[in-house]
């Protein structure tokens, strides 16, 4: 159990176009999903926290108008990179937290990541 | 916010030797400290974690220690094997299901 998928696994796009990345929890419901970005040979940096039915919370320095997050259901969050540029090329990874958040030490599960290359 | 520092950034060990990676954190409210192993192009895999109410935890060849007073925690891998070669990340958060702040990563190479 506790499987998280991402689609697509990789994408190449032209500069100026928009790209949508999906994060799905396949066998559990997730009230909260996190979006991380990882540049080559660097660590994972949290971009935003996505909560089902409400606006995402963005980390400092992350442009909310450029990285649009929608968490419309308990199993799906999407990240749209608008007007992508080469500097947005990165590995985008989501994680999902099960909806049974009443217990204090529940876990989060990572998706396999999406590699975005902007030409 | 939380800041997690990780050392060393690279670590080369001979097969069979031990590897130790150290992390420090800044947020005294952090109470959950996982360690992840990441292979190239793959998702991070949780290998062990520790909560703030425990000082040490062990799982076969892997152990983690936590010093809350000093705000540091360490990963110990004994009897290293070539398949242990990967990048390891420590992280901290205020609860297992909350946002994680990652350390900078340690690239471990186990030489046969």
Q: State mean pLDDT over A19-29.
A: 93
pLDDT at A112: 97
Show residues of chain B in contact with A112, CB under 8 Å: 42-43
Instruction: Give which of A91, A108, A117 to mutate to test B binding, by max B Cβ within 10 Å.
Output: A108
- Check pLDDT > 90 for residue A52: no
Do the Cβ atoms of B27 and B7 come closer than 8 Å? no
Q: Indicate the pLDDT class of residue A1, thresholds 50, 70 and 90.
A: low
- Residue A70 exposed, middle or buried by CB count within 10 Å (0-12, 13-18, 19+): middle
Size of interface A-B (CB pairs under 8 A): 50
| DSSP-assigned letter for residue B100 | P
Task: Name the average pLDDT for chain A.
Answer: 91
Question: A43-47, B27-31, B41-45, B95-99: which range is least confident on average?
Answer: B95-99
**Which of B43, B98, B101 is the best mutation test for A, with the most CBs of A within 10 A?**
B43
Sign of the alpha-carbon torsion through B32, A40, B37, B104: negative
Query: d(Cα A48, Cα A67) in Å, to the nearest integer?
Result: 9
For B42-79, the pLDDT digits (tens) are 999 999 999 988 899 999 999 999 999 999 999 999 99
- A96 bridge partner residues: A33, A109
Q: How far is A41 from chain B (nearest CA, A)?
A: 9
């Amino acid at each position: 159990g506790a499987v998280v998928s991402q689609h697509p696994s990789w994408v190449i796009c032209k500069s100026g176009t928009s790209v949508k990345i999906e994060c799905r929890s396949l066998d559990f419901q997730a009230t909260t999903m996190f979006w991380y970005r990882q540049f080559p040979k660097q660590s994972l940096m949290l971009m935003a926290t996505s909560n089902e039915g409400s606006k995402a919370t963005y980390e400092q320095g992350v442009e909310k108008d450029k990285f649009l997050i929608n968490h419309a259901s308990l199993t799906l969050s999407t990240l749209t990179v608008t007007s992508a540029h080469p500097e947005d090329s990165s590995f985008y990874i989501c994680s999902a937290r099960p909806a049974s958040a009443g217990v204090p030490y529940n876990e989060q599960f990572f998706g396999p990541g999406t590699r975005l290359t902007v030409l | 916010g939380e800041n997690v520092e990780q050392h060393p950034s690279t670590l080369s060990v001979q097969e069979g030797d031990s590897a130790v990676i150290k992390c420090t954190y800044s947020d005294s409210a952090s109470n959950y400290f996982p360690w992840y192993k990441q292979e190239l192009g793959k998702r991070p895999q949780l290998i062990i974690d520790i909560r703030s109410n425990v000082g040490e935890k062990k799982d076969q060849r892997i152990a983690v220690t936590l010093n809350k007073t000093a705000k540091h925690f360490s990963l110990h891998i004994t009897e290293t094997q070539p398949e242990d070669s990967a990048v390891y990340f420590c992280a901290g958060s205020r609860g297992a299901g909350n946002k994680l702040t990652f350390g900078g990563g340690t690239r471990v190479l186990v030489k046969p």
